[in-house]
Amino acid sequence: MLSNSDSKRNINFVLIVSLYILGLSNCQNLRGFNCAIAALCEDNIIDPRVGNVRAQTNIVTPLADDECPTGTARCQAVRCGVPIAVVSSESNQANANSHPWEAYLRDDVRNTYVGAGVLIDQYHVLTAAHKISNLTGSDASMSVLMGVYNPRTIPQAPVQVSKVLRAFKHSSYDQSSLKNDVALLRLATPITMSNSAMPLCLPRASTNFITTPPTTCLVAGWGQTAFNVNDAPTNILKQVYLPIVSQQTCKTAFESLPQGSQIVSNYLDVDSGNQLCAGGQVQLDSCTQDGGSPLICKNANSNVYTLAGLVLWGKGCGEVNRYGVYLNVPSYIAWIHTVANCSMRGTGSCSGATTQNFN
């Protein structure tokens, strides 16, 4: 992450109910509720003590608290996209817990950093498919860590760790071109919602982040600080503000590069609406090993952050008129919901996805 992408280089306020299917609590080994701190629970509970059925409070359901960790309780509707910590207005180091949806992906066999992703509910993390494509073999094993700020403090820091049970990659994912480069990770154990771990809001399929004038959004990650500096994961989570540019601006910039026509033809997928471009400023960019990191945009009226994109690829890092390429998440909302629903049914395969199992 450059501040003052992997394959990523070189080539409104909505309440989230984490379980997508009603009655899911009847499924074996699945938790039919969230465990959350009170500040994140948006359940509207009718309180009979008030004597007025219209009076509602945000009291967390007090039943079976022993099923949740100390300090949390059962909750059906968890707040998304509004961190408790303050999000810095600077492109530099992120404030601790200001990106509580940022997931740290770890290869458990090699105990190494794989990339980033984004928590969308207690059982699912969205990431770029190319981040996990090399984790193959009968012994492949990976985990998602939530609450990571400085990777050097793992495992001393209080982070939540959940094994990845399986990954669902888009069935049209092309590893050579990085088109349809998206995967949904199904976690073996649910994430407890806290000030350091909460879901990011998903956009509607109709949401358009490519606007005039350009929308300035935010990306955070542990990727390299320069294209030729292999320092990922960085000591502290970094963030950078980037403008989202038009498809034509992005195409024109790539076409000006050596072999630019080939790059546009083989890799760039903006005309379909499946990708978007952001950046193009000196030393302000996502970079190598930021793949899968979320590009987030804030609603000016509600101050809620929504997922706009995932870091995919680019040419170099932090150069003028060199744009990073991101998955355009609204184009994949139907796929995300369909696969998440399927995932929670416990089936080994889902329509529109190829399945990769982990130990």
Residues 226 and 319 placed together within one structural domain of the fold: yes
pTM > 0.75: yes or no: yes
Residues 183 and 231 placed together within one structural domain of the fold: no
Q: Which residues of the chain have pLDDT under 50?
A: 5, 9-28, 45-65
**Would you say 1 and 234 are in contact if contact means Cβ atoms under 8 Å apart?**
yes
pLDDT reported for residue 233: 95
pLDDT reported for residue 4: 52
Residues 181 and 258 placed together within one structural domain of the fold: no
Q: What is the pLDDT of residues 68-127, one digit of tens each?
A: 999 999 999 999 999 999 999 999 999 999 999 999 999 999 999 999 999 999 999 999
State which of 142, 168, 199 marks the end of a domain.
199
**Would you say 277 and 326 are in contact if contact means Cβ atoms under 8 Å apart?**
yes
Query: Which residues make Cβ contacts (< 8 Å) with residue 316, sequence separation at least 6?
Result: 9, 227, 322
Which alpha helices (DSSP H) does 77-154 contain, by range?
Answer: none
C-alpha–C-alpha distance, residues 203 and 294, integer Å? 13
The pairing of strands 275-279 and 142-146 is unpaired
**Would you say 94 and 116 are in contact if contact means Cβ atoms under 8 Å apart?**
no
Q: Which residues pair with 16 in a beta bridge?
A: 78
Residues 193 and 250 placed together within one structural domain of the fold: no
- On whether residue 297 sits in a domain, the answer given is yes
CATH of the domain at 121: 2.40.10.10
* Nearest C-alpha neighbor of 329 from the set 199, 182, 185: 182
Q: What is the pLDDT of residues 113-163, one digit of tens each?
A: 999 999 999 999 999 999 999 898 888 999 999 999 999 999 877 899 999
pLDDT reported for residue 144: 98
pLDDT reported for residue 66: 60
How many distinct structural domains can be found in the chain? Answer: 2
> Which structure tokens are listed for 230?
């292999």
Domain membership of residue 289 as a residue range: 217-334
pLDDT reported for residue 139: 87
State which of 199, 227, 243 marks the end of a domain.
199
- On whether residue 84 sits in a domain, the answer given is no
**Would you say 85 and 71 are in contact if contact means Cβ atoms under 8 Å apart?**
no
